[in-house]
Structure 1
Amino acid sequence: MAIQKILIDQFLMLASQYPVLDVRSPGEYAHAHIPGAYSLPLFTDEERKVVGTAYKQQSRKKAIKIGLDYFGVKMRPMVEEVERLVLQLNDKSRQENDPVVLVHCWRGGMRSAGVAWLLDLYGFKVYTLTGGYKMYRQWARARFDEQYQLTVLGGYTGSGKTSLLHELQHNGYKIINLEALANHKGSSFGALGEKPQPSQEMFENLLADALYTMRRVAGNAGEIFIEDESQRIGSMNIPDSFWKQMRSSRVIFLDIPFEERLTYLTEEYGKFDKAAMVNAVIRIQKRLGGLETKQAVNYLLENNHRECFRILLKYYDKYYEKGLAARATDPALVKKINCSTVDIKTNIQNLLHEKITVQ
């Protein structure tokens, strides 16, 4: 069988059916990778450093010889690992004879060529990505410049917007959950109960993949619901071009009474570790103010979560109002919906009653 080099669009189409093998080092993969790709490193991080140093300081041939020393003892284990992977994915990819695998490294150079040669020799049908992961990054960044039919779910803190997104998805609507991609809920308390945040690069890859998936399913048409966010979500930044598009899109603003939202927040965050919550309050001390910070912390120490969150909610409401006032959008694009409660089922009905439907 001949190894086929393919461009990024074809590579990603095949990636929805067949396993993607990322043969970069573990450190490169951990920093960021194509979503769904499987890590099959040709070299360890240290081995990559040795080969790279030899390439720069001695010669290409010397680097290849060192690389072959590392590669030789790994050949059989790598083949067997790919066999196991293909077997696990057999129902999805329906591979029985001549199983297909996709291989890439950083630039589509020697590492992917070496692994592709081995797997092709063994009997796999192998495709490699022209330009490697570097080409994927160019593709990912280009996704943020495309135009999407976005509907932004707005509302003050404690409005249950994320839960509403989940319910919309359950009802067949297309959504992108930025907070899930960022592993952060956006506020100073946003990291509580979440996994560590990805790198900025990986966040962008995940967002690009989500946008690509929405477009692949629905084409250029089709409404996508997305939560109103600050450009910064924890340590993640929404890419500028996509952020600007969010800020100029239609907004559905859920107007829910303060006390209802306060009850929701108290139930949502009151279960977390007290020390972690105190640290979260202290992180916004400069913006919250010394007196309010001291009062909020004292309420937490007294287990009076409701009064603590009352202080914080007033702060976040002012912060959100400021952002809403500065929004670069036509006021006619903002649709306000009065909701008496944070009950998600009720608010879904409020949305449907307003005939907010996917086009």
Structure 2
Amino acid sequence: MASPIHITSKEQFQSLLSSSTFVVADFHAEWCGPCHAIAPVYDQLASQLSRPNRITFTKIDVDKQQDIAKAYAVTAMPTFIVFERGRPTNTIRGADPTKLNQVIRKLATEAGKSEPAGAGDASSSGGAGGGSWLGAPAPKGYTDITDEYDAKGLELLNVDSEFGVARALLGSAKPSVLGNGKTAEDAGADWVESDTDEQLMLFIPFKSTLKVHSLHITSLPPSEGDGDEIPMRPRTIHLYTNRSHVLGFDEADDIPPVQAVTLESGDWDPKTGTAKIDLRFVKFQSVFSLNIFFVDGDGDGEKTRIDRIRIFGEAGEKREMGKLEKIGDEPGE
């Protein structure tokens, strides 16, 4: 059906990771004898099993695309890496045609399963074409990397215990208020609201070092209610990177944010309640933790509501979790 796509840039590869649910990458080198030996097997699999926007086969010359090889810790050739929705899920090292056949044909079975409802809709599909709900299209060339967060270290300050927890914000399910097939009794509150005032502080440690391109914030407060009892959408947001812990509110006030954002009413998509935040990418090139400080809300209410947060960019090498505290509080940060 199709030949493998020869990757000529990091941007091209990231674009394919965003547009195709499954991507298979053959990391090879011209001087590598085993690479040439297994190439006909790989090419035949690509010809038989490629499917537009579902499963894409690529070839990456490690000498010409050293940045990509380094990002995925490729040190031996050939190495085959399978990506699902932009995330590496399986690695085959060496020219083993039997194992390659087994892994790729199992992948093809997965790719052939029926796609989730609404998978072709940008407002309901994941950045790589299925599964995860998004309130807005993923930025071109970047993937949804929200699932890189470390659940054990996740913290949320000033949250009202009557509603959801921090994990709900980073979940991939469609918000219940938009209709996800579950009643409130079944699902529980899948959003968070602030407690004593409008401020919220979310600490997100990551399992790998990220390049963060942008954020999508979804907030779906009710349109009717009693005055200041109606929760607000966030207006001012301060972002802090590479801290070893959740910042206290007073502590955050004393530290200049890496970026401050002000959201206007026109920034929110009327259908999905989602606002896109483009980051100063140069300042978010090596991020292993993120504090998101929701400073105030857009209105006269007393509480702020957040339904979902999605993070877009690139993931790099896995981080040794024990080193977070050691390197998170460097002098002068």
TM bin, normalised by shorter chain, reads under 0.3
TM-score of the pair, normalised by structure 2: 0.27
TM-score of the pair, normalised by structure 1: 0.25
Q: Which structure has greater helix proportion?
A: 1
Q: Which has the larger radius of gyration?
A: 1
Q: Which structure has greater strand proportion?
A: 2
